[in-house]
Amino acid sequence: MNENKTKYLSKLHQLTQNIAIAGLVLLAAPAHGESAKTASSRSISYLSESAPDKAESDSRLKATAFQLLPALVTDGYREESSQVYATGIITTYLEASYTSAEVTLYDASTTLISDIDHDGFYHRFSVTFDADTIYPEAYIFAELYLSYEGGPWNYITASDAYHIYRDSEQDTFTIETELAEGFDPGYYDIRIELFDADTGYRILSYGPYDDPSLTALPLEDSYYDDYAEVIAPVESEVIITAAGHTHGSMGLWLLSMSLLAALFRRFRS
């Protein structure tokens, strides 16, 4: 009898140690959005004149691979948009690059698309812009950057290359983006940068000081946006843990430890 009791107490002690180790691992895990090493998003781009309907857009976006990005930088200085002139060295292997005097960005607008939990913050949005050129045509592409509440610019995605034709409105272009992970809820500014598609030379940047529609968009990643639906049936203590706060996991761990300690004392007596 004493031998069985000893074996049981030994197993109980080992179980207690395992739970303690698991609790320490949970506490050491970084909270979502605080110490994440990467962010991710996915985008599609298209001429606005031939924009897909919602179903096709959903399908195309779903079939697009997520792009891994560095962790969102939120503190520090950001450079505002400015013109870029042809001061770079162009080698004989490259065609002459366009300048901001030859290609301009006439107008931009943004559309907020998806807010699953109806909290006013969207994980999917689109940016539409109309670039013009003094030439019969030019071949360009765009890059998008986000700034979290006035912080530094963070690269998000690059569009497909496309042609623009003088001041035509038929070449208006759209980039549609889904923020997957690494973007805390907040107000984001958008910056568009245009590039020569043949040389990769940066032509110009266009941001919130150029167009108010690129200012203070209420955004968050899809983790936050579908969070309410995912955890609605779950008890509140687990909700706290899932939200990345350590006191929820600590409470659950301490409760388990307390119960095991009580059992341990009972068998010892």
Q: What is the 3-state secondary structure (H, E, C) of the chain?
A: CHHHHHHHHHHHHHHHHHHHHHHHHHHHCCCCCCCCCEEEEEEEEEEHHHCCCHHHHHHHHHCCCCEEEECCCCCCCCCCCCECCCCCCCCCCCCCCCCCCCEEEEEEEEEEEECCCCCCCECEEEEEEEEEECCCCEEEEEEEEEEECCCCEEEEEECCCEEECCCCCCCCEEEEEEEEECCCCEEEEEEEEEEECCCCCEEEEECCCCCHHHCCEEECCHHHHCHHHHHCCCCHHHHHHHCCCHHHHHHHHHHHHHHHHHHHHHHHC
- Do 142 and 158 meet the contact criterion of CB atoms below 8 Å apart? yes
Note the pLDDT of residue 16.
Answer: 60
Note the pLDDT of residue 23.
Answer: 52
Note the pLDDT of residue 80.
Answer: 82
Note the pLDDT of residue 22.
Answer: 52
Note the pLDDT of residue 226.
Answer: 77
The rounded distance, in Å, linking the Cα atoms of 242 and 230 is 10
Give the bridge partners for 69, in sequence order: 39
Residue 6's contacts (CB-CB under 8 Å, 6 or more residues apart) are none
Check the CA dihedral 95-100-106-108 and report its sign: positive
Note the pLDDT of residue 2.
Answer: 58
Assign residue 112 a region (left: φ > 0; alpha: ψ between -120 and 50; beta: otherwise).
beta
Domain 38-228 belongs to what topology?
Immunoglobulin-like (2.60.40)
- Do 197 and 133 meet the contact criterion of CB atoms below 8 Å apart? no
Residue 55: both structure tokens together: 């179903």
Tell me the pLDDT of the chain (269 aa) as tens digits: 555 655 555 665 565 665 655 554 444 444 443 445 689 999 999 999 889 999 999 999 999 999 999 999 999 989 887 555 443 433 444 456 888 899 999 899 999 999 998 999 999 999 999 999 999 999 999 999 999 999 999 999 999 999 999 999 999 999 999 999 999 999 999 999 999 999 999 999 999 999 999 999 999 999 888 754 433 333 333 333 333 344 444 444 444 444 444 444 444 45
Note the pLDDT of residue 260.
Answer: 47
